[in-house]
Amino acid sequence: MSKAIRIRKGSDIRLVGVADKKLDIAKPSPVFAIKPPDFHSLTPKLVARDGDRVKAGDTLFFDKYNEPVKFNSPVSGVVEEVVRGAKRRILEVRIKADDHTEYKDFGVKDPAGMSADDLKSHLMAGGMWPFFIQRPFNVIANPQGKPKAIFVSGFDSSPLAPDEAFVMEHIKDDFKVGIHALKVLSEGKPVHLGVRQGSSCYNDVEGVTRHEVSGPHPAGNVGVQIHHIDPINRGEVVWTIKPQDIANIGRFLRTGKFDLQRIVALVGSEVNQPQYYRVTVGTHLAPMTAGKLKDDDKRFISGNPLTGASIEEDGFLGYYDHQLSVLPEGNKPKFFLTEGWLSPGLNNKTFSLSKAYPTWLLGKRRYDLDTNANGEERAFVVTGQYEKVFPFDIYPVQLVKSIIVNDIDSMEKLGIYEVAPEDFALCEYSCTSKINVQQIVRDGLDTIMEEFK
Amino acid sequence: MKALHNFLENKVKPNFTEGGKLERFWVVYDALETFAFTPGHATSKGTHIRDSIDLKRTMFLVILAMVPALLFGMWNVGHHYYLSLGEVSSADPLTAMMLDKFLIGLEKTLPLIVVSYGVGLGIEFIFAGIRKHSINEGFLVSGMLIPLIMPVDVPLWMVAVATAFAVIIGKEVFGGTGMNILNVALTARAFLFFAYPKQMAGDIWIHGSTTAAQGSLADGYTGATALGNLANTVGKPLDAEGVGVVMSQFDAGGLYSLQNAFFGLIPGCIGETSALAVLLGAGILIWTGIGSWRIMLSFLIGGLAMGAIFNAFGANAYMTLPPVHQVVLGGFMFGMVFMATDPVTAAQTNMGKIIYGFFGGFFSIMIRVFNPAYPEGVMLAILFMNVMAPMIDHYVIQANVKRRMKRASNLQPATA
């Protein structure tokens, strides 16, 4: 069964620096890091100590409040350092990698012959559980939860995102095994797969309910697809997972090894030859970026420019990210007539979703945007802006306001269970008053999550 | 530009930062610096790239949209000044004494603008200093709107008092820009209307008509606005004495004919008379997406609808005026384009905007016809709808909430 979904609201932000369809295996990274802050609201309990020897698949830390959920080392080597921040919060667990990776053996399994509970505990022991993200709250799924469906967005519509057809060519077999596992886990409930309209790269995937999705970003956001396929009501839970992680699960079952790979697009206007790399999760950036960047002030973003996390030049790729974006840092003032607030806006450094700039008249071209906020934070004045890029039957401004005033009852009524911060990324992008909408939504979700504890 | 920025950064700025000798004027410096240079603030949270739009550009475009009305208004002030003196007649080509007319208008209008901005921005700077935040650009628009909705001969001290009242009571007590319930410029106008009814009802619509020129007015030139004249017909039968004289002015060739009213060759507040100039502004606002076309369109439809209903009854001469003629008179168009669309005080949901606009237009015409004491119905109608806007939004949002609740209650118990 397939259902066509047409998204009308939203916008594609076309940036310079799309990855060429060329895949290299990145040089092995000497150091890897798993970063607990990548897992929102997780309280990690360390197992590994400085100087411990680990194999790929040995547990580094687990969820203090949900012990079976393990976070394993992606490589074999020595735990080099546990980096801590304020209040001794663990920021990174760094592992110095061996030349040859030794894998812990979890045993080859065929999901078809397993019960849901057996498969679940196998995946948790193997460190695969963190790939399941639940809605509401957009956090690692509670393994005891009973989802009404599992949702997979087969494509990413955010700026400079990797091309799913190209990535799938390399991981298709593992992906199919992973889908079988999802079928078992869903215990008869549907597994929905959102496919870009006209794309044939998932045509041979069986066992899923396919939905053709068309339209601009955020059409590829799983939240948008959930909303149009089977929206979440109060008390319901759905699980989501990304295609590359399904492939990782498939590989884990097929080989018995904790071999977390990721095909990453190195993109952005500061990259000389944007292309794809195959890396192991937790990699240092240098093996991908060394010698390939321009010589400006740069912003390194693990993820896409709308929702990604800012990282240091010698930092590590985020756990879930399949994109490393490098953009020019916008820390220089802009004179108001030439590039600032009164500029004609005809060059490719000015991109606006508002018609107050001529972007909408200039046709399809690619833009070279920097990270300047292009204005200061102001009181909320302009209305109707968020609604244009928010394809939900939800009032975004009112929901955001209910969060600001901490009105839990209104948040529920206005639909907070259906959304994640990433769904508001375009609202935040287009906001005239430069309000940090995604952070507000995250805070709102955290507030409600507190209530449920 | 780099040199200028370095000069500001190294030589000027230190005087205004903490410990500098002009520390208390930091807000002023900050406003001017951020005017000249969009600051080099890089994003720190959330999206790494941001839209180029900001509040400065938004507000600037609104002011730009008011320029046609402002320029025409200046000319029109001079036009009626010379008409009232009999130095030009309505038969002369409009280009006659073009520059003289414009200069008279400039001489009268500029002080109003200076007073409005001076008082308003002064108060804004003080509040920004107390609250320790930077200046919001909102008043740049209000400060231009206030002179445009003033009669030309209004005393400057009244403008100053009204502006101060509007900014302090209308806006700052609610928390400043973005928090106010009533449109700031209309609050200023309403304040004058109710606090100084005598002065506001006098012959202040034509420059000079209250003072020296009083005795030397050209024959037949009354200096009253169209709406003031029309208000006199209310409560009288259609064939009463004097009604015919008034209504004849609205026929083709009369002072308030449809053509004159549309082009704006009638007495009235400085910026409101020309429907054409206002519609040019509307074009800019809609083209740039800054003004809500939903509000403007439904406001217009609301006004036409009420006009048509009055036509159907036709109980007095005012009611017989064609709807199209109704909406080009007085401040209807100006209110529709620049006042009703104020995003802070209007309804915020798209559906709410349509309802809000419709009733705004509907009540504008209703008030001006039903209550001759308030000839300028549009001001009161918009202020009333400002107050109603949150309620309209509330019901629009409740419909959405109910839809969601219904979806949840249709669930099978097993999945709940």
What ipTM was predicted for this assembly? 0.92
The number of beta carbons lying within 10 Å of the beta carbon of residue A163 is: 18
**Residue B187, token pair as written in the block:** 């609050």
Q: Which domain holds residue A174?
A: 2-255
pLDDT in tens, A313-335: 999 999 999 999 999 999 888 88
- pLDDT the model gives residue B222: 59
Q: Which domain holds residue B312?
A: 226-239+248-401
Last residue in a domain, options A221, A255, A289: A255
**Residue A75, token pair as written in the block:** 């490589």
- Three-state DSSP class for residue B108: helix
pLDDT in tens, A300-310: 999 999 999 99
A140 belongs to a structural domain: yes
- pLDDT the model gives residue B211: 47
pTM: 0.92
The number of beta carbons lying within 10 Å of the beta carbon of residue B20 is: 15
- Overall average pLDDT of the A418-433 stretch: 95
- pLDDT the model gives residue B415: 40
Q: CA of A276 to nearest chain B CA: how many angstroms apart? A: 22
Contact of A168 with chain B, judged by CB distance below 8 Å, is answered with: no
Phi, psi of B325 (to 5 degrees): -70, -40
- Three-state DSSP class for residue A250: helix
pLDDT at A410 over 90: yes
In this structure, the answer to whether residues B208 and B260 fall within a common structural domain is: no
Interchain contact, A341 vs B348, CB within 8 Å:
no
A339 belongs to a structural domain: no
B124 belongs to a structural domain: yes
In this structure, the answer to whether residues B123 and B200 fall within a common structural domain is: yes
A309 belongs to a structural domain: no
B31 belongs to a structural domain: no
Q: Do A264 and A113 contact (CB within 8 A), yes or no? A: no
In this structure, the answer to whether residues B206 and B234 fall within a common structural domain is: no
Classify each residue of A245-259 as buried b or exposed e, where b means 16 or more C-beta atoms within 10 Å of its C-beta: bbbbbbbbbbbbbbb
Instruction: Name residue A369's amino acid.
Output: L
Contacting residues of B for A384, CB less than 8 Å apart: 292, 343, 348, 350, 353
Residues A58 and A439: their CA atoms lie apart, in Å, by 34
In this structure, the answer to whether residues B343 and B392 fall within a common structural domain is: yes
Q: Which of A12, A148, A336, A369 to mutate to test the interface with B (most CBs of B within 10 A)?
A: A336
pLDDT at A185 over 70: yes
Interchain contact, B134 vs A376, CB within 8 Å:
yes
Bridge partners, B27 (sequence order): none
- pLDDT the model gives residue B380: 93
Per-residue pLDDT of chain B (416 residues; tens, 9 = 90+): 778 888 888 888 888 887 888 887 888 888 888 888 888 888 888 899 999 999 999 999 999 999 999 999 999 999 988 888 888 877 777 777 888 999 999 999 999 999 999 999 999 999 988 888 888 888 999 999 999 999 888 999 999 999 999 999 999 999 888 899 999 999 999 999 999 887 776 667 777 655 444 445 555 565 677 888 888 787 788 888 778 888 888 888 788 889 989 999 988 899 999 999 999 999 999 999 999 999 999 999 999 999 999 999 988 888 899 999 999 998 999 999 999 999 999 999 999 999 999 999 999 999 989 887 777 889 999 999 999 999 999 999 999 999 998 887 765 444 43
Last residue in a domain, options A190, A225, A255: A255
Residues A447 and B378: their CA atoms lie apart, in Å, by 44
Phi, psi of A238 (to 5 degrees): -125, 155
A139 belongs to a structural domain: yes
Interchain contact, A398 vs B397, CB within 8 Å:
yes
Rg of chain A's alpha carbons, rounded to an integer? Answer: 22
Contact of A357 with chain B, judged by CB distance below 8 Å, is answered with: yes
Q: Do B55 and A378 contact (CB within 8 A), yes or no? A: yes
- Overall average pLDDT of the A430-435 stretch: 94
Interface A–B counts its CB contacts (< 8 A) at: 219
Give the angle subtended at the CA of B201 by the CAs of B199 and B204, to the nearest 5°.
70
Residue with tokens 């833009």: A367
Residues A367 and A374: their CA atoms lie apart, in Å, by 15
- Overall average pLDDT of the A285-313 stretch: 93
Phi, psi of A412 (to 5 degrees): -60, -50
The number of beta carbons lying within 10 Å of the beta carbon of residue B279 is: 17
Residues A162 and A71: their CA atoms lie apart, in Å, by 26
Residues A44 and A69: their CA atoms lie apart, in Å, by 10
- pLDDT the model gives residue B30: 85
Q: Which of residues 105-124 of A touch B (CB under 8 A)?
A: none
Interchain contact, A380 vs B178, CB within 8 Å:
yes
Residues A106 and A72: their CA atoms lie apart, in Å, by 12
Q: Which of B13, B35, B43 to mutate to test the interface with A (most CBs of A within 10 A)?
A: B43
A390 belongs to a structural domain: yes
Residues B30 and B17: their CA atoms lie apart, in Å, by 10
Confidence category of residue A3, pLDDT binned at 50, 70, 90: low
Q: Which of residues 139-168 of B touch A (CB under 8 A)?
A: none
The mean predicted confidence, pLDDT, of chain A is 94
- Overall average pLDDT of the A35-60 stretch: 94
Strand order across the beta sheet in which A298-302 lies: A23-25, A275-280, A261-267, A323-328, A298-302, A309-311
- pLDDT the model gives residue B209: 57
- pLDDT the model gives residue B161: 96
- Overall average pLDDT of the A377-394 stretch: 93
The total number of structural domains that make up chain B: 2
Residues B116 and B122: their CA atoms lie apart, in Å, by 10
- pLDDT the model gives residue B365: 94
